Amino acid sequence: MEYLLHILILIGIYVILSVSLNLIAGHTGLLSIAHAAFYGVGGYVAALMALKFNSPFLVNIVCAIVLSGLLGALVGIPSLRIRDDYFVIATFAFQVIAFSVLNNWVSFTGGPMGLPGIPQPTIFGLQVSSQLGFLVLVGVFCALTLWVIHRIVRSPFGRVLKAIREDEVFAQAAGKNVAAYKVLVFVIGAGMAAVAGVMYAHYISFIDPTSFTVMESIFILSIVIIGGAGSLWGPVVGAVVLVVLPELLRFVGLPSSVAANVRQIIYGGLLVAFMMWRPRGFLGEYAFQGKEARE
Amino acid sequence: MVAVVIAMIVAIGQGHDDELRIGVVFPLTGDAASYGEKGREAIDLAVSIVNAEGGCGGRPVRVIYEDSRADPKTGVSAIRKLISADHVPIVIGDIVSAVTLAAAPIAENNRVVLLSPTSSSPAITNAGHYIYRIWPSDLAEGRAIAKLALSRDYRRVSIFHMNNDYGTSIAQVFKKTFEAGGGSIPVMEAYQAEGTDYRSFLAKMKMDAPDALYIAGYFADTATIVRQLRELGLSTQVLGTTAVEDDKFLQLAGDAAEGVIYPLATGFDPASSDAQVQQFVKKFRSRYGHEPGWVEAQAYDAFMLICHVASRLDEDVTGEALKKALDTMGSYKGVAGVIEFDENGDVVKPVVLKTVRNGVFSRLAGSE
Amino acid sequence: MNQLVANAAISAAIILLVGVGFALIYRVGRFFHFAHGAAFTAGAYMNLVFFRVFGLPQPLSATLSVLTCIALGCTMELAVYRPLRKRSASGVVQLVASLGLYILLTSLISLAFGDQTESVRSATIAKGVSVAGARLTDIQITIIACAAVAASMVAWALRYTKAGREFRAVASDPELAAITGVRSDRVILGAFAVGSGLAGIAGILVSLDVDMRPTMGLLPLLSAVVAVLVGGVGRVLGLVMGAILIASAQNVGGWYLGQQWREPVVFVVLLGFLFVRPEGVMGKKLTKATV
């Protein structure tokens, strides 16, 4: 039972991550490989605050969102000058630098030794200590994230995002401040990823930089792509599939040494296969095609 | 997919009462996979020996392996699966400290014993009441090699350590001990686990001409570093870690392995005349066709220790019962030395200084 | 200090060998072929198979391995990228597919050989020869020589051969090239063959220098990508300058900041370039957005 709860909690964390990346990549069309960096910053801010100042959970979460959001703006700014695959590489660069800072700034982040003993969160005097409690907590934030994204996408703001994705020049010509929209989308997405990081840090109670690598970013992106970019529920489906799949492999009787590689092979193969035959993913409405290519 | 989910639920429900289930969380893939595989070989051997003799105190043993990939999150998934789906009262693992630390609170909360054969991080000492290890903390190894450097009158030793929990924490212990003894560290730098180009560090180190270079990492990277050191024409004395003692190190480092001095923080000595050790080495060799090393010995001891205390239990083997038995067992003699836990679930073992002489791991002369 | 220069030269040579192929594929295929790193790794491991398992002599084993890499590169183009191109998939879609291919191929290598370090080197340590105060081993000199020869040959071929002219035609305007009878599919396949072969050579040489692991391809690939972007995708000379710049940044950065900063330094340089001069040192100006 506890194991099933654990998987549900992990799914919840990845739903927050992928839904927020979907806002950036799926709704606005800015493919980013920096999401694990925001996730990590959130986790580290919460962990450091909880460990050093013993500050309340809700304060930690706000600080994590703010700091990660600022970093999001920093990553969003290059999108004004650089586009498409060049932009992907720029986010990649940001991800590598962020990981190195977490890993090498030993006196502050604990470096590769990580931060053990992160306390369980207390909200309004209520300590979340059981797994069920965590599931409820993650579920609440998950629902909140989905609701906010839903509202954003349906609003005039969301329609501008879609316009930027479909035809940036047109959006610009229509008098929209494309630059501000792009940066804002990164701020929102990064802030939400930070929430997932906070959940992760408090739940696992130990974090180290290896959870926030380039490969993790690619994994989150794969959830969005396989689930379906640009749709509300696509990333949710993606998160369920990609989190449950490796866990199922624990039960099919493969030797464990083979299982991890098989998992990677399936996951790499899925990415290729979806790009070839179904670039929209399971439920998506956006297939990462530029304007000219669709004509 | 549906079929597998059903299989999963069925798996959660079943279990034999008379059987002793032992969970094992090892890195079977990823960066530390070679250690995990060694540990698995040893435990497989131990299981076959014990079950052929009727099990642990009459209980047949079943071992369930889970892969941690040396990654904390995967390790947490693995131990949760073992505890809630397989209902194990005891988990052996992990090899690497980061996973042991991440898994510790889960074992603690579920009152399941977590016994690590090789985790060395000093943080594990205070990781919980249900957390045991049969490997001494990094403190012992780092201090021993620093003291050796001091005793040889090395005044200046440069440090090059792997940028992971093991390399970083052991390098810090070395630095502290060595500086406290009056030595100085001209250069101390970290290297990334996946890197292979250490030449610029070596060139930089060469300018200071230290008395020795302490490389704190695993065997593969240490091998590449000593090779590059010798290729640059430097004959600096190299100090290494316990991880160096691996046949693969000799193969990868080639002639450059010669003369590397390292501490062995486990009491395992395959050349020992002790009957228990000889029997282990013989059985291992006949089953796998190669020699066991310290990882194998530690994993074997971890399993046999659990079997030893479990066989003395009259009641059901639960986590609580095992913990009580471990706390009160006194001392147990394994193939890698005597195990006796202190109040933190740590062990103290004598550190042996060794070196590579004529392509063979040998005791360092004058360190007996 | 001389050693620092020598170290930078070795890094630059590896980056150049990987980068030339990556740039060739990028210019005509117009997407980032990340699975190029897998061709690099495959070269090293195929050499392990031919040399160690089949016991072939090293030159023959290396040749067969390079041929395997060429076949691998062409297979990727034919099986994945060409169908995607036929569907007018965007560069981003092809990039994601190439990431998938990279993960797929390196996992296959890891499944077959395990994650531990493997070696084809002999036990004897080849002490480096002294060159102007720095020490270089035979294999390191070979790496530098191979890179120099490969880069010059590619530059020469692009300028003076028929294939080179066709390549440049496709690179500058595929539609116009098609009208004049150049078959862009063939040119792209050629770029994959040459590029993957060079990556294979680089992988073999690196494994002879510092052994091999399934993940060995990622860092050289990333450095090469950065060198290509910084040098500008247009010309081989720009790439050479990019490779030297990146290798120097790695080695000088590592020297002053510590080894753990070697990789991030590369990406800081990249971000600087993307901000200040997105077209690279020698490239042409990028269009901001096309209408």
DSSP state of A192: H
Does A3 reach chain B within 8 Å, measured CB to CB?
yes
Query: 3-state SS of chain B: helix, strand, coil percent to 5?
Result: 45, 20, 35
The nearest alpha carbon in chain C to B168 belongs to: C260
Of A86, A97, A268, the CB nearest to C278: A86
Contact C84 A86 (CB under 8 A): no
Q: Please tell me the predicted confidence (pLDDT) of residue B5.
A: 53
- Measured distance CA(C277)–CA(C284) in Å, rounded: 10
Residue-wise pLDDT for A30-63, tens only, equals 999 999 999 999 999 999 999 999 888 999 999 9
Q: What average pLDDT does range B241-246 have in this prediction?
A: 90
Helix (H, G, I), strand (E, B) or coil at B332: strand
Burial of C284 (0-12, 13-18, 19+ CB in 10 A): exposed
Contact A111, B168 (CB under 8 A): yes
Does A290 reach chain C within 8 Å, measured CB to CB?
yes
Does A1 reach chain B within 8 Å, measured CB to CB?
yes
- Which of C30, C82, C267, C275 is the best residue to mutate to test the A interface, defined by the most A CB atoms within 10 Å of its own CB? C267
Q: Which residues of A touch C263 (CB under 8 A)?
A: 96, 100
- Measured distance CA(B115)–CA(B308) in Å, rounded: 14
Q: Which residue has the tokens 């996992």?
A: C107
Find how far residue B289's CA is from the centre of its chain: 22
Contact C122 B224 (CB under 8 A): no
- Structure tokens of B179? 């500086």
- Measured distance CA(C33)–CA(C15) in Å, rounded: 15
The strand pairing partners of B237, in sequence order, are: B212
Average pLDDT, chain B: 88
Q: What average pLDDT does range A230-235 have in this prediction?
A: 90
Cα of first residue to Cα of last residue in chain A, in angstroms, is 51
Residue in B234, B230, B238 with CA at minimum distance from that of residue B259: B238
Does B211 reach chain A within 8 Å, measured CB to CB?
no
- Structure tokens of A80? 């004004």
Q: What average pLDDT does range C213-232 have in this prediction?
A: 90
In degrees, rounded to 5, the angle at the alpha carbon of residue B83 between the alpha carbons of residues B77 and B85 is 85
Does B1 reach chain A within 8 Å, measured CB to CB?
yes
Contact A206 B123 (CB under 8 A): no
- Measured distance CA(B115)–CA(B95) in Å, rounded: 10
- Measured distance CA(B182)–CA(B151) in Å, rounded: 11
Domain extent for B208: 139-264
DSSP C273-287: HHHH-TTTTTPPPPP
Question: Does residue B144 sit in the same domain as residue B259?
Answer: yes
Q: Which residues of C touch B189 (CB under 8 A)?
A: 258-260
Q: Please tell me the predicted confidence (pLDDT) of residue A293.
A: 44
Q: Which residues of C touch A89 (CB under 8 A)?
A: 32, 225, 229, 270, 274
The nearest alpha carbon in chain B to A256 belongs to: B67
Contact B334, B306 (CB under 8 A): no
Distance (Å) from the alpha carbon of B329 to chain C's nearest alpha carbon: 38
Q: What average pLDDT does range B361-365 have in this prediction?
A: 86
- Measured distance CA(B171)–CA(B163) in Å, rounded: 10
Question: Does residue B243 sit in the same domain as residue B280?
Answer: no
Residue B111 backbone dihedrals phi, psi, to 5 degrees: 55, 50
- Measured distance CA(B216)–CA(A84) in Å, rounded: 42
Contact B217, B162 (CB under 8 A): yes
Question: How many domains does chain C divide into?
Answer: 1
Helices (H), chain B: 2-13, 33-52, 72-84, 97-110, 138-151, 165-180, 199-208, 219-231, 247-253, 275-288, 294-311, 319-328
pLDDT at A27 over 70: yes
Residue in A42, A77, A84 with CA at minimum distance from that of residue A200: A42
Q: Please tell me the predicted confidence (pLDDT) of residue C173.
A: 85
The nearest alpha carbon in chain A to B162 belongs to: A112
Average pLDDT, chain A: 88
Residue-wise pLDDT for C258-276, tens only, equals 888 888 999 999 888 887 7
- Measured distance CA(B194)–CA(C280) in Å, rounded: 28
CB neighbour burial string for B240-250, b if at least 16 within 10 angstroms, e if fewer:
bbbbbbbebbb
The strand pairing partners of B337, in sequence order, are: B334
Helix (H, G, I), strand (E, B) or coil at A261: helix
**Beta strand B20-26 with B61-67: parallel, antiparallel or unpaired?**
parallel
The strand pairing partners of B191, in sequence order, are: B162
Q: Which residues of B touch C262 (CB under 8 A)?
A: 192, 195, 197
Helix (H, G, I), strand (E, B) or coil at C56: coil
pLDDT at A259 over 50: yes
- Measured distance CA(B85)–CA(A2) in Å, rounded: 8
H helices, E strands: number in chain C? 12, 2
pLDDT at C288 over 50: no
Of B11, B67, B168, the CB nearest to A260: B67
Q: Please tell me the predicted confidence (pLDDT) of residue C289.
A: 44
- Which of C259, C261, C265 is the best residue to mutate to test the B interface, defined by the most B CB atoms within 10 Å of its own CB? C259
pLDDT class for B163, splitting at 50, 70, 90?
A: confident
Does C149 reach chain A within 8 Å, measured CB to CB?
no
Contact B280, B292 (CB under 8 A): yes
Q: Which residues of C touch A293 (CB under 8 A)?
A: 88-90
In degrees, rounded to 5, the angle at the alpha carbon of residue B241 between the alpha carbons of residues B353 and B246 is 90
Q: Please tell me the predicted confidence (pLDDT) of residue A84.
A: 76
Contact A133, A3 (CB under 8 A): no
Question: Does residue B78 sit in the same domain as residue B119?
Answer: yes
Give the residue numbers in B contacting C (CB under 8 Å), as ranges: 29-31, 33-34, 37, 160, 163, 189-192, 194-201, 203-204, 206, 220, 223-224, 227-228, 230-233, 248, 251-252, 254-256
Give, to the nearest 10 degrees, the angle between helix A2-22 and helix A234-248: 140
Complex ipTM value:
0.88
Does A288 reach chain C within 8 Å, measured CB to CB?
yes
CB-CB neighbours of C183 under 10 Å? 12
- Measured distance CA(C87)–CA(A294) in Å, rounded: 10
Does A96 reach chain C within 8 Å, measured CB to CB?
yes
- Structure tokens of A166? 């479909």
The strand pairing partners of C270, in sequence order, are: none
C268 lies in a domain? no
Residue-wise pLDDT for B71-119, tens only, equals 887 888 889 889 888 899 999 989 988 899 989 988 998 899 999 999 9
Contact B33 A251 (CB under 8 A): no
Contact C125 B192 (CB under 8 A): no
Q: Which residue has the tokens 């792009």?
A: A182
pLDDT class for C290, splitting at 50, 70, 90?
A: very low
Of A88, A101, A268, the CB nearest to C107: A268
Q: Which residues of B touch A114 (CB under 8 A)?
A: 72, 98, 101, 165
Q: Please tell me the predicted confidence (pLDDT) of residue B368.
A: 44
- Which of C4, C107, C119 is the best residue to mutate to test the B interface, defined by the most B CB atoms within 10 Å of its own CB? C119
**Beta strand B131-133 with B113-116: parallel, antiparallel or unpaired?**
parallel
Question: Does residue B191 sit in the same domain as residue B78?
Answer: no
Greater model confidence, C149 or A249: C149
**Beta strand B337-339 with B61-67: parallel, antiparallel or unpaired?**
unpaired
Q: Which residue has the tokens 């297939």?
A: A287
Of C115, C127, C260, the CB nearest to B30: C115
Contact C122, B42 (CB under 8 A): no
pLDDT at B327 over 60: yes
Q: Please tell me the predicted confidence (pLDDT) of residue A295.
A: 38
Distance (Å) from the alpha carbon of A140 to chain C's nearest alpha carbon: 32
Contact C115 B228 (CB under 8 A): no
Domain boundaries, chain A: 2-210
The nearest alpha carbon in chain A to C215 belongs to: A215
Q: How many residues does chain A have?
A: 295
Does B66 reach chain A within 8 Å, measured CB to CB?
yes
Question: Does residue B167 sit in the same domain as residue B245?
Answer: yes
Distance (Å) from the alpha carbon of A111 to chain C's nearest alpha carbon: 11
Contact A276 C83 (CB under 8 A): yes
CA distances (Å), A65 to each of A20, A134, A207, A239, B273, in order? 12, 19, 18, 22, 62
Q: Please tell me the predicted confidence (pLDDT) of residue B17.
A: 60
Residue in B34, B62, B65 with CA at minimum distance from that of residue B48: B62
- Measured distance CA(B193)–CA(B163) in Å, rounded: 7
Contact C116 B220 (CB under 8 A): yes
Find how far residue C187's CA is from the centre of its chain: 18
The nearest alpha carbon in chain C to A215 belongs to: C103
Contact A214, A96 (CB under 8 A): yes
Contact B163 A2 (CB under 8 A): no
Rg (CA), chain A: 19
Question: How many domains does chain B divide into?
Answer: 2
Helix (H, G, I), strand (E, B) or coil at B266: coil
Residue-wise pLDDT for B184-233, tens only, equals 999 999 998 777 788 888 888 888 899 999 999 999 899 999 999 998 88
Give, to the nearest 10 degrees, the angle between helix A84-104 and helix A214-227: 140
Domain extent for C79: 13-215
CA atoms lying within 13 Å on the CB side of residue A266? 14
Question: Does residue B229 sit in the same domain as residue B318?
Answer: no
Subunits with 3+ Cβ pairs within 8 Å of B are A, C
- The CATH number linked to B171 is 3.40.50.2300
Contact B67 A248 (CB under 8 A): no
Output the furthest CA–CA distance in chain B (Å, rounded): 68
Contact A78 C88 (CB under 8 A): no
Question: Does residue B238 sit in the same domain as residue B144?
Answer: yes
* Whole-structure pTM value: 0.87
Most confident of A284-293, B324-333, C97-106, C177-186: C97-106
pLDDT class for A291, splitting at 50, 70, 90?
A: low
- Structure tokens of B295? 């990882």
Q: Please tell me the predicted confidence (pLDDT) of residue C278.
A: 63
Q: Which residues of B touch A247 (CB under 8 A)?
A: 77, 81
**Beta strand B337-339 with B332-334: parallel, antiparallel or unpaired?**
antiparallel
Residue in A64, A69, A89 with CA at minimum distance from that of residue A79: A89
- Measured distance CA(A257)–CA(B164) in Å, rounded: 22
CA dihedral B340, B344, B347, B353 (to 10 degrees): -160
Residue in C38, C48, C53 with CA at minimum distance from that of residue C97: C38
pLDDT class for C62, splitting at 50, 70, 90?
A: very high
Helix (H, G, I), strand (E, B) or coil at A5: helix
Residue-wise pLDDT for A69-109, tens only, equals 999 999 988 877 777 778 888 999 999 999 999 998 888 88
Contact A97, A103 (CB under 8 A): no
Question: Does residue B307 sit in the same domain as residue B323?
Answer: yes
The nearest alpha carbon in chain B to A257 belongs to: B28
| Range scoring the smallest mean pLDDT among A36-40, B269-273, C123-127 | C123-127
Q: Which residue has the tokens 């992106």?
A: A221
Contact C278 A82 (CB under 8 A): yes
pLDDT at B1 over 60: no
Contact B169 A114 (CB under 8 A): no
Of C135, C216, C258, the CB nearest to B232: C135
Q: What average pLDDT does range B119-124 have in this prediction?
A: 88
Residue-wise pLDDT for B6-38, tens only, equals 555 545 444 456 789 999 999 988 778 888 989
